[in-house]
Structure 1
Amino acid sequence: MNFTESPEQQALRSAVAELGKRYGQAYTAPRARAREPLSELWAEAGKSGFIGVNLPEQYGGGGAGMYELAIVGEELSAAGSGLLMLVVSPAICGTIISRFGTDEQKRRWLPGLASGEAIMAFGITEPDAGSNSHNITTTARRDGADWVLNGRKVFVSGVDSADAVLIVGRTEDARTGRLKPALYVVPTDTAGFEYTPIDMDVQMPDKQFLLYLDDVRLPADALIGEEDAALAQLFAGLNPERIMAAANSVGMGRYALDRAVGYANERVVWGKPIGTHQGLAHPLAKAKVELELAKLMMQKAASLLDGGDEANGAAVGEAANMAKYAAAEASIACADQAVQTMGGNGLAHEYGVGSLLIAARVARIAPVSREMILNFVAQFSLGLPKSY
C-alpha cells in the first residue's frame, strides 16, 4: 500500500472538494430539514464523472476503484454535503452488477448508474430479521419463465429517487426445501411494489422507506448472477458498502473538526483564543488522531478490495468492517467535541454542527451495527467461538 496518493487521485480529491465547497452546508441543511434529496449536487457530480468513478469505462464509468469512490464520498462529506446514495447506487449495486450481471444487464443499468441519471436502492433489512440476514423471509418463486416476489423490507434509503431497488430475496431449494439468498432488480414502478416513508428524527436529505412486495412479477433476467451463488455475490456488495460508510464518517468527522478548530481560533475569552486552553486543544487533537487512524483503515480496506485478489477476501472483509467501526466512533467523537468546543453555539443552527450529533450516531447502527462488527472480529479475526 502506497501512503502517497497518485497525481490522479490527488486531482480527483481536489476537484471533488471544490464541488463540495460550492454546495456545502448552506445547500444541504435546508434540504435535510425538508427531507429533500440533493438532486442538483447529485446531477453535477454525475456529469463530472464522480459518481461512477469506480465503474467500468466501457459502460461510462471512470474505470477506477473503490479507493477513488471513497475519495468522492469523503470529500463531499468533509464539505458538509455528503451523498448517502453513493454508498448504495454505485458502490453496492454497481459493484454487484459489474461483477455478476449478464452483458445485457450491464448495458441496461451501468451507464445510468455511472452518470447518476439512474439510481438504484438496495433492500436487505427486514422488520423481523434485523441483522440476521440468514433469516430473511422475502421469497422468490418461479412461475413459468417469471419470478414472483413477496415480502417486506425496512430502512431502505432513497427509494423515492430510485429507478429500481436491488432486493435480497430467498429461493427454495427443490431438493432440500432450504431457502437460499438471491438478488433481483425490481423497478420501482413494478405492479405490486409499494413503499411508505418512515418518520425519522434524524435530519437527512434521503428518506428511509418500508417496502411491500405483493406478488411482484419480474422477468427471468431480473435475477442478478447465479441463483445458487448469491451469498458470495451479496458480500461482494457489502464490503464496498462498509468502505463507503467509513468514507462518509471520515468526511463528517473532518467537517466537524474544521468547524470546531475555526471557532477555537477565533473565539476570544479572557484575552486569548479558547484554542490555547489544553482543556479544548487536547480533546480536539485526540479526535484528529482517531480520525486519521480510521481513515488509514478505510484506505487499507479500499486498496485490498481494488487489488482484486480473491484469496484476499477474508482480509478485505476484516478491513472493511474495522474501517466502518473505527470511522463511526471517530466521527461521533469529532461531532461531540465540536459541540463542546462551541458551547451553546454548537447547538445553534448557523454553526452547522449540532445536527451532526444524530447524523454521526447513525453510523454506529447502519449499515451494520457495531455489535455485529465486534462479533465478526471476535469470531474471524480472533478465532473465538461464535456467540450468536
Structure 2
Amino acid sequence: MASSPIYLGRQPILDRQGQLHGYELLFRCAQSPDRALVLDDSAATATVITNAFSELSLGNALDGRKMFINVGEELLFSEAVEFLPTAQVVLEILETIEVTPAVVERCKALKARGFALALDDLLEITPANQPLLSLADIIKVPLLHDWENQAALLAHQLQAYPVQLLAERVETLDQYRKCAALGYQLFQGYFFARPALLQGRKLNQDRLTLVTLLNQILDDADTPVLERTFKTAPGLSVNLLRLTNSVAAGCHAQIASLRHAITLLGRKQLQRWLQLLLFSGPHTQNLARNPLLQLAATRARLMETLMLAQTPPDRSLADQAFMVGIMSLTPALLEMSMEEILTQLSNLPPLVREALLAHTGPLGKRLRLVEALEWDEEERLPALLADLPGLRQEMLNDLLCSAMAWAATLGQPAPSGED
C-alpha cells in the first residue's frame, strides 16, 4: 500500500537577540484513516530528508544556520540519518522514543560522528530520560498550561547539565521575556512574527516613505521623483544600496547612486525590494538573519514560483503573486488591518486585492496553500493541492526548498572579483 504524501515545512528558531538561529524542518504526512501507513511514512520521511540535501541542496539555503530534524525510533536507527551533514543538523530525539540501552548507545554513536542532539518536549526529568540528558546539546521545553512554573523548575534542574535551553510554543512577548530571564537561549513559536521583538511596531517615517514609494511605482512615476522620495529617508537609501549590491539582486556591477540603482533594477524588481524593505528595517545590518524578512521573502518567492509552475506559466500573475506573498504579512508588521493598509495602496491590481482580503482567486488559492505549509496544517494540503491542477506534492517540496535558498541570499555581499 502506498504511503501518504510527505510535505515539507519549517519553523524558525531564534536566539536571545531575536536573530535567526535556524529552522526546525517539518516533514508532515497527511494521514489517511489507515494508521498502518505510519511505518511507510517513516521511510518516506527519511527519503524526503536525504533528497532535501542531495537533490534540493537544502543545506545551501541555511547560510550557516542550524537545521533541526525530528527523529523517531525507526529513523534514529536508520542509515539515512548518517548521510546528513553533521555540522548543520541537530537531531531532535522525540519524546515518544523509549530510552533503552540500545537507544542510548545509538545516540552516543551519533554524537561521536559529530551530530548535535536535542531532546524534544521535555516536561520533567525522570529516571527514564536521565541517561539522555548528559548526551543532549539542547533541551526543548514546551510552554504548556503551567508554563511559567514548569519552565522555571526545569531551568533550575538543568543547570547541572551543559545544555542550551530552547523554549518552544512561545506565543507572546511576555513568555519570551520571562524565559529569557530564566536563562533560555533559544526560542521557537509564533512570537517571531510579532515585530515588537525585532524593531517595534510603530509605522515610522521610513515605512511611511515606503508606502509612498510603492504608490509612486504603481503610478509609474518618473525616476527623479522616486529618487527625491528616497532622499527624504537616508536609512532607506542605505538599505536599498546594500540590497542592490547583493547576490540576491542579480547585479554584478557595484551600485553607487540611487538613480543608478533604480535604473539598473527596473521597476518590477525595485517594487519587490521596496516590499522586502518593509520587513528589513532601515538600519538592519544582517538581513539574512532577520526572521521576519526571511519569512516574507520565502513566502513571496514560493508564491511566485507556484504561479510559474502552472501550465502555461503567467509572468504577469507571477509578479502579482510575489506581491501577495509580501503584502500578506504586513498586518503583523505594521499592526494595522489589511483593509487599512490597502487604503494606502489604492492602485494594487484587483487579483492582488481579492487575494489579500478574501484569499480568493488564483492568487488567493496559492496563498492558502503557502499558509497551510507554514502553519503545519497538513490535513488541509491535499484539498488545496487538488484545487491547483498540475501541481504535485513533490513539486511543492522542491519549490519550497528553492524559495528558502533564494531568501537566504538576501543581504549577502556580491562575490569578490565581480564588476
Give the structure with higher Rg (CA). Answer: 2
Whether these two folds match at TM > 0.5 is: no
Larger RCO (alpha carbons 8 Å, 6+ apart): 2
Structure (1 or 2) with the greater strand fraction: 1
Q: Give the TM-score of the pair, scaled to structure 1.
A: 0.25
